[in-house]
Structure 1
Amino acid sequence: MLLSALQAGWLSSLLSRTGSTAWSLPALKTRDKGTISKTQQIITHLRKQKYNADYDLSATQGADTLAFVSLLEEKLLPVLIHTFWVDAKNYVEHTRKWYAETVPFPLNFFLPNCMHKRHVERLQLLWGDGYMEDEEKLEKELYRDARECLTLLSQRLGSQKFFFGDSPASLDALVFSRLAPLLKAKLPNGKLQQHLKSLQNLCNYCTSILSLYFPWDGGDPPAGAPRPVGAEGGEAEEEPHKRRNQLLSVVVGLAAMLAYAFLSGIVSIQRGSAGPAARQPIAMEEEEEEEEE
């Protein structure tokens, strides 16, 4: 119990110090409210800042948005969680490996397993007690519903550039956030991925958004891309803080490992006696030397 509390406190401390947002995604870092990590709170915050992608939508289009959002959350999201976090082959060979290589030390040793456990518990809450009784049957039903959801999205999109014409709306952002990882990830077990790849207009849709809004595909921006004013100075100022955070992470990691070693009994401290018994072997050696003389 004490060890679990130590580990939880340690992870929380490291996350706050390193500024990591991997524990809760999506995340938006703001100047006045810190980091916002819930989707609806992010949308509400952006709308207050006059960023509203649904401003020009009609009432019918707004109703369609709500219907498709509900469909995605109910039919597609649970299967995506299962695909990336519960399927043993995908989790071990892709998801855990990716997080372990991306998340800074020492979080990469603990964070993927914590997230895995949290997602498994989430699916158990969504699927109920039947999840443990007949997992194989339930999995088939859920994957069938997810394939139907993708087919409906494909039919609704048709040959359009976005779901409501030539401009993206909040539905486009949500659909892209669900489909792009599934399309681009190199999954060893890609049952749902294969169905998505068979829907050519959805594949073209994701590829088009990537080329429009992520032209460098997550890498370094092109040489001609504009850089924020004072970016170089900001990097120089952040370097000492970055090193300090890394040092703190290592120190806290070592402290946690030592605490675990002491609590589990792997390491113990024994005090040697300084009494007569401890000096007895020396006295015996002196006696032997006298006898020899």
Structure 2
Amino acid sequence: MAAPMELFCWAGGWGLPSVDPDCLAVLTYARFTGAPLKVHRVSSPWRSPSGRLPALKTRDEGTISKTQQIITHLRKQKYNADFDLSATQGADTLAFVSLLEEKLLPVLIHTFWVDAKNYVEHTRKWYAETIPFPLNFFLPNCMHKQHVERLQLMWGDGYMEDEEKLEKELYRDARECLTLLSQRLGSQKFFFGDSPASLDAFVFSRLAPLLKAKLPNGKLQQHLKSLQNLCNYCTSILSLYFPWDGGDLPTSAPRVGGAEGGDTEEDPHKRRNQLLSVLVGLAAMLGYAFLSGIVSIQRGAVGPAGRQPIALEEEEEEEEE
């Protein structure tokens, strides 16, 4: 029997199966199609075989690390949420996904990673508490830097010239995007009727973190909460497809086992990651000791064989006489 595909994604929180929008999109698409994935919800990208999240480990194509490529691979395996869509609906899917990436995603990055109050009090706090020691001391800041650079690429050279003006324009565009999504959804269960499609996976993965996170500065969040049909839409998908995945799995909940897939919380590289954490911790402590002058390397006198013995000594404070 063929081994199931393995999906590595960020752990859950805020009442969501994963806090990362890209990971959430893949998880949601897989649930929509019934793809047999063995899911590893991890607390660091270092626990992924590619060093990135999400990552899909396949038997034939190795590890795939981009969201759209993962979904394309699932379609090739005959797990296609868009199988019954018409040509017009397929075109609408492309248009709305493009709208999400252009108008909504930049503001989501700004809301969670650039807005100082949200980043310090919410985003960095969650990742620092979730990522294992000692990675939690520097990995959130590295992720923050990556998101800022990504945002600068999206916004162009004008980002640093008049940041306040550009921010207002982008938040205005994001509010208009949410309003348009609300109008397009209307009273339907999903965007194309009673069955979910890939567009629903992308929309849900962008809206759910914004809806569920407890943000100190929730300008865009307040607008989303005013659109009741979008709120009901997210709540419905969570209850239908992730009844036990709201961050922490209840101890009494049944768990799917066996080789045919299902979700699992086990860490496939536990011993390796423990050793890596110890080595990184030792390196950090030694680096601090050398930089602060607690430990130094001094050369002694030249010995008879012409070699200089190297001694590792601790510096002691001079005592006043």
Q: Is the Cα–Cα contact under 8 Å of residues 54 and 65 in structure 2 kept in the other structure?
A: yes
Greater percentage in helix: 1
Write the distance in 2 (CA, Å) between the matches of 1:264 and 1:93.
Answer: 30
Q: What are the within-5 Å matches in structure 2 for residues 25-174 of structure 1?
A: 25-174=53-202
Structure 1 94/20 Cα, relative in aligned 2: closer, same or farther at 3 Å?
farther
Match of 2:256 among 224, 227, 236: 227
Aligned letter for 1:102? T
Give the TM-score of the pair, scaled to structure 2.
Answer: 0.72
Match of 1:192 among 220, 224, 238: 220
CA shift at 1:139, angstroms? 0.5
Structure 1 148/42 Cα, relative in aligned 2: closer, same or farther at 3 Å?
same
Note the residue ranges of structure 2 that are not aligned, 5 or more in a row.
1-43, 304-321
Bigger Rg, which one: 1
Aligned letter for 1:228? G
Aligned letter for 2:276? L
CA shift at 1:177, angstroms? 0.3
Match of 1:245 among 260, 273, 286: 273
Q: After alignment, is 220-229 or 67-76 more displaced?
A: 220-229
Q: Secondary structure at the match of 2:297?
A: coil
The answer to whether 1:177 aligns with 2:205 is: yes
Structure 1 122/15 Cα, relative in aligned 2: closer, same or farther at 3 Å?
closer
Which residue is 2:29 aligned to? none
Structure 1 34/264 Cα, relative in aligned 2: closer, same or farther at 3 Å?
farther
Write the distance in 1 (CA, Å) between the matches of 2:152 and 2:299.
Answer: 50
Write the distance in 2 (CA, Å) between the matches of 1:213 and 1:75.
Answer: 27
Q: Deviations over 1:26-78 (max 9, x none)?
A: 33333444432211210111011111100100001001001101100000000
Q: Is the Cα–Cα contact under 8 Å of residues 118 and 217 in structure 2 kept in the other structure?
A: yes
Q: Is the Cα–Cα contact under 8 Å of residues 113 and 147 in structure 2 kept in the other structure?
A: yes
Q: Deviations over 1:150-169 (max 9, x none)?
A: 00000000000000011110
Write the distance in 2 (CA, Å) between the matches of 1:158 and 1:214.
Answer: 23
Q: After alignment, is 31-40 or 106-115 more displaced?
A: 31-40
Write the distance in 1 (CA, Å) between the matches of 2:154 and 2:230.
Answer: 27
Write the distance in 1 (CA, Å) between the matches of 2:182 and 2:171.
Answer: 17
Write the distance in 2 (CA, Å) between the matches of 1:92 and 1:134.
Answer: 23
Q: Which has the higher contact order (CA 8 A, sep 6+)?
A: 2
Give the TM-score of the pair, scaled to structure 1.
Answer: 0.79
Taking only the aligned residue pairs, the percentage that are identical comes to 86
CA shift at 1:20, angstroms? 7.6
Match of 1:212 among 236, 240, 245: 240
Q: Deviations over 1:128-151 (max 9, x none)?
A: 221111111110000000000000
Aligned letter for 1:43? I
Q: After alignment, is 32-41 or 210-219 more displaced?
A: 32-41
Write the distance in 1 (CA, Å) between the matches of 2:213 and 2:122.
Answer: 8
Aligned letter for 1:220? L
Write the distance in 1 (CA, Å) between the matches of 2:251 and 2:84.
Answer: 32
Structure 1 54/15 Cα, relative in aligned 2: closer, same or farther at 3 Å?
closer
Q: Is the Cα–Cα contact under 8 Å of residues 175 and 220 in structure 2 kept in the other structure?
A: yes
Structure 1 84/66 Cα, relative in aligned 2: closer, same or farther at 3 Å?
same
Which residue is 1:201 aligned to? 229
Write the distance in 2 (CA, Å) between the matches of 1:174 and 1:92.
Answer: 27
